[in-house]
Chain A
Amino acid sequence: MSIEMSESENIVFLRDKHIKYIDSLDKKQEDYEYWLSEHLRLNGVYWGLTALCLLNAKDTFKKEDVIEFVISCWDERSGGFAPFPGHDGHMLSTLSAIQILATYDALDSMNARDIREKCVAFIKGNQMKDGSFQGDRFGEVDTRFVYNAISSLSILGELTPEIVDPAVEYILRCYNFDGGFGLCPGAESHAAQAFTCLGTLAIVNKLGKLSDSQMEELGWWLCERQLPEGGLNGRPSKLPDVCYSWWVLSSLSIIDKLSWIDYNKLRAFILQSQDEKKGGISDRPENEVDVYHTVFGIAGLSLMGFENLDPIDPAYCMPVSVTSKFKKYPYDK
């Protein structure tokens, strides 16, 4: 699978095909899989839209239609956003909804029916005593949901020390001896959790809570995720996967050690995972593509400065042109 450098430099980034692929996703209603993936629809829209922004093709989706769909996903009972109309509100889909609206500069559409107010209450109401967050009322706890909450509230400008301080304490308890972060205290390090934990700390301006030696260990653990074929894995002795181009790279970027992996080799791995016929990127070469791996592959390329992509914010996983307008925590009095 490994490719010589001279060869890899010749692989072309299929910009137009990726745009076409993302555009085609909502036109697949004749496919059974389209209906089986309703529970991820709003997340899917966020992944697609973010990829399009990086590809400088934001207008591919019709803005009004997307905003209308997002609002139709709001679940009045919980106050959060569901991934699809009629489903239940959840922290994961709530962040996707807020990210999409912010990307379209359309957060004011949450002013109707007290959506904004109820949504903030939903998010804050999911914080547990130890600072962690549950995904919904049924009690599953994971640093993914801490990230969902902190990122959502940050985009809305609704962070407070009462929410932030215990959340930060909880995140720090998830730091492991090997230099990674787990999904909860005691859990094994996982690259996706490095992103959720470091992303949370970065958003609330608390990276300083990590010591220099912890930063060194983090950088070391993260850069050891790169395998000889160029791709990154999520844990020791696992296969490489394009989505870690995001989880690992964004984490390295947040701690200012992005250059600790080999860009050219990773670029080659991502490009080899493209579907040359229909566009899109898969988890690894020769596998079926999907919008999730497409956005995280493209986001990784953007962080490394390849392919003339629009810059992405490593902490929010949104275009810098959008996040630069967010109110920075701690807020001025």
Chain B
Amino acid sequence: MHGIKRRQWTEELLKQKKLQDQKKISEYRDLTKTVLDKKRKEIYTLETFDLTTQVLKINPEFNSVWNYRRDIINSLRDGLAIESWEDELNFTMAQMKVFPKVYWIWNHRVWILNNYPNSPLKIWQRELVIASKVLEMDARNYHAWHYRRIIVNEIEKISGKSMDKSELEYTTLNINQNISNFSSWHQRAKLLPRMFSTDEVMDKKKFINDEVSYITNAMFTDAEDQSVWLYIKWFIKNEIVSKTLSGDEYQKMLKDLKNNILAINEDEVEFSGVQNNWCLKILIVIEDIETSLGITNTSNKTEYIEQLIEADPLRKNRYMHLLNKH
């Protein structure tokens, strides 16, 4: 059980609950007994289909009943009109609204789309709009992001066209709304290398410079949240950056970034009296890259690590490890 408040039951409340439960239990058990019995006998009819609807409305976690439902659909497939497939999508949508984190519902919806007669492009495109709507309600829903990638992949397969550009725009839109939407930063980090390797980016240098401005802006907007920092730590080490920029340009990019991070950190010290831990953590990463490039004249790594040992005691042993390695 996730996120359910603990209740203190009085004797009286417990008695009431037991009474109410008695009736619900006998109805539910009768229903599931009937369904499992017909399932065992492999009775695939519209009547048994309706029975599965009844069970799943009460209990969407009942995977075996979802399985039975799919077996019924498979068996009746030839006589099913398009409306039936649409009804099934509507049913899963209604279920999803009430239970947005039940794996089986998402799984069933994917199965329906895959089995929809001819599985045409337009139903997948419509589905992408729906996925966006679900993510509007909960921008981090792990299931919905997984679902979205499945849909995009299918659209690309059917249409033969890459959706990287529009998906990148989608992540930008999300991040602009909420910088700590790490799911979008994640997606961005997956899209960029692919776009570079498939030559979807016309002016690579401009693209990298724009991205540097974008992340610089982001870290100035919210330096507390780790999402943007995790992205930066990937970005600055990635080949798309180090190979697109010339050696000098790359070093300058690192240096500018470092100065900006130092500025953010100074602001924070001035404002709250303490340093920003993520600034220190990323400064260490930048200095490691600089060291690997042979630039060693400005290393403050030891100092940063020692400051982190004080400022971020939860992770003290990691910093001790870095210090020993250094």
A: residues with CB less than 8 A from B are 30-32, 35-40, 82, 86-88, 90, 136, 138-140, 176-178, 183-184, 186-190, 219-221, 223-224, 226, 228, 235-238, 241, 257, 259-262, 265, 275, 277, 282-283, 286-290, 292-293
B1 near A: Cβ within 8 Å? yes
Which residues of chain B are within 8 angstroms of A282 by Cβ–Cβ distance? Answer: 1, 6
Closest B residue to A36 using CB positions: B59
B204 vs chain A, min Cβ distance (A): 19
Whether B318 pairs with A188 at a CB distance below 8 angstroms is no
Interface size class of B (residues with CB under 8 A): 35 or more
Which residues of chain A are within 8 angstroms of B158 by Cβ–Cβ distance? Answer: none
Partner pick for A138 among B24, B29, B70, B321, CB 8 A cutoff: B70
Whether B182 pairs with A236 at a CB distance below 8 angstroms is yes
B: residues with CB less than 8 A from A are 1-8, 17-18, 20-22, 24-25, 28-29, 32, 36, 40, 58-59, 61-64, 67, 70, 103, 107, 110-111, 140, 142, 145-146, 149, 180, 182-183, 186-187, 189-190, 225-227, 230, 233-234, 238, 313-318, 321
Whether A39 pairs with B63 at a CB distance below 8 angstroms is yes
CA gap between A185 and B22 in the complex, in Å: 46
Partner pick for B226 among A31, A183, A236, CB 8 A cutoff: A236
Whether B28 pairs with A32 at a CB distance below 8 angstroms is yes
Whether A188 pairs with B5 at a CB distance below 8 angstroms is no
CA gap between A196 and B40 in the complex, in Å: 33
Closest A residue to B37 using CB positions: A86
Whether B314 pairs with A265 at a CB distance below 8 angstroms is yes
Which of A39, A40, A177, A287 is most buried by chain B, counting CB atoms within 10 A of its CB? A177
Whether B149 pairs with A238 at a CB distance below 8 angstroms is no
Partner pick for B314 among A40, A87, A221, A226, CB 8 A cutoff: A226
Partner pick for B186 among A139, A188, A220, CB 8 A cutoff: A188
A264 vs chain B, min Cβ distance (A): 10
Whether B182 pairs with A237 at a CB distance below 8 angstroms is yes
CA gap between A290 and B317 in the complex, in Å: 33
Majority SS at the chain A contact face: loop
Which residues of chain A are within 8 angstroms of B315 by Cβ–Cβ distance? Answer: 223-224, 226, 260-262
A242 vs chain B, min Cβ distance (A): 10
Partner pick for A283 among B2, B111, B186, B318, CB 8 A cutoff: B2
Closest B residue to A85 using CB positions: B36
In the assembled complex, 7 residue pairs joining A and B whose CB atoms fall closer than 8 Å, in A order, are A35-B25, A40-B61, A140-B107, A221-B230, A223-B315, A224-B226, A262-B315
Which of B25, B64, B225 is most buried by chain A, counting CB atoms within 10 A of its CB? B64
Whether A241 pairs with B2 at a CB distance below 8 angstroms is yes
CA gap between A187 and B20 in the complex, in Å: 43
If A219-B318, A261-B315, A265-B314 touch, does A188 touch B21 (CB 8 Å cutoff)? no
Whether A87 pairs with B63 at a CB distance below 8 angstroms is yes
Closest A residue to B8 using CB positions: A277
CA gap between A235 and B1 in the complex, in Å: 18
CA gap between A177 and B230 in the complex, in Å: 9
Which residues of chain B are within 8 angstroms of A219 by Cβ–Cβ distance? Answer: 318
CA gap between A37 and B24 in the complex, in Å: 14
